[in-house]
Amino acid sequence: MIRLSGVAKSHSAEAVIGPVDLVIPAGGITALIGPNGAGKSTLLALIGRLLGLDEGTIEIAGYDVATSRSRDLAKIVSILRQENHFVTRLTVRQLVGFGRFPHSRGRLSRSDEEAVSRAIDFLGLRSLEGRYLDELSGGQRQRAYVAMVLAQETDYVLLDEPLNSLDIQHAAQIMRQLRRAASELGRTIVIVLHDINFAGHYADRICAVKDGTVAHFGSPEEILRAEVLSEVFDTPVEVVPGPRGRLAVYY
C-alpha cells in the first residue's frame, strides 16, 4: 500500500503540488491521468523519492520514503522515468543486470542472472539481449528499460509514461506485459498514462490529477464518465460503449 498524507511540493509560485492525500492499495495497476502540467510525473517522482517533499509524508509498504535508507527502499520500489539517456554504452542484458544492483551490489550471483533472464524473457527480448541499446528501435529500448525495472523485483513499480512515442502495437504489447506482471507476479504498478482508453482498459484503478491535486480516484467505471473526464481535461469528452468496455471520445 502506498499512502500519501498531506503531501505538498512547490517548484515555484505557479507550479504547486498538493496537498495530496491518497491511498493506493497493493496489487494491480493504478493509472495516473490528467492534463499536461497537472503534476502526474511530479507526484510519481515524489513517491519514488526522486524529488524531496516540502510537506507531508509518503509511506510505501510501511516505509517512510523520506527517512528510510535509499538502498532498503530500492528493494521494495523501483521507478522508471520518461527520459533515459546513458552516456555509457550498454547491451540490453547489461542494462537489465543493473536492475539487480540493490540485491547484488554489482556482483551478479547465479540467482541474479536467473532473475535477469526472467525479466528479459518476460518482455520478449531474449533474441536482443546481446545488442547494444543504441542499436535498438525506440520500442525495443523502452521494453529494455521496463525489463530492468522488473528485474529489480520490487513489489512496487512506478512508471512514468512508458508508452511515450510508442506505436499502437508496442504500446499495447507493453500494457499487456505490465498487466501480466501485475496479475502473475503480484506487482503493484503505478503508471502515468496519456491515453485514457488504455487506462480504462488495463488499469484496476484510475487517479485523475488536476492542478497538483487528486481530482478523482476510483475504478475505471467510476472515472470513465463523460462529466468526470470533461471536468478533468477541461475539454468535452463523450464516453461511448465499445466492444471491450467503455471508450472515451474527445476528437
Residue numbers at the binding site for another protein (CB under 8 A)? 48-50, 69-75, 78-81, 84-91, 93-94, 96-99, 101-102, 105-108, 110, 113-114, 116-118, 121-124, 126, 129-130, 149, 152, 173, 176-177, 180, 184
Q: How far is the CB of 114 from another protein (least distance, A)?
A: 4
Q: How far is the CB of 55 from another protein (least distance, A)?
A: 15
Cα separation, 51 vs 142, whole angstroms: 23
Q: How far is the CB of 87 from another protein (least distance, A)?
A: 5
For another protein, give the closer residue by CB, 74 or 249. 74
Q: How far is the CB of 88 from another protein (least distance, A)?
A: 4
CB 121 within 8 A of CB 68: no
Q: How far is the CB of 13 from another protein (least distance, A)?
A: 15
Q: How far is the CB of 5 from another protein (least distance, A)?
A: 22
For another protein, give the closer residue by CB, 42 or 152. 152
For another protein, give the closer residue by CB, 80 or 229. 80
> What is the SS3 string spanning the chain?
CEEEEEEEEECCCCCEEEEEEEEECCCEEEEEECCCCCCHHHHHHHHCCCCCCCEEEEEECCEECCCCCHHHHCCCEEEECCCCCCCCCCEHHHHHHHCCHHHHCCCCCHHHHHHHHHHHHHCCCHHHCCCEHHHCCHHHHHHHHHHHHHHCCCCEEEEECCCCCCCHHHHHHHHHHHHHHHHHCCCEEEEECCCHHHHHHHCCEEEEEECCEEEEEECHHHHCCHHHHHHHHCCCCEEEEECCEEEEECC
For another protein, give the closer residue by CB, 140 or 230. 140
For another protein, give the closer residue by CB, 78 or 213. 78
For another protein, give the closer residue by CB, 77 or 248. 77
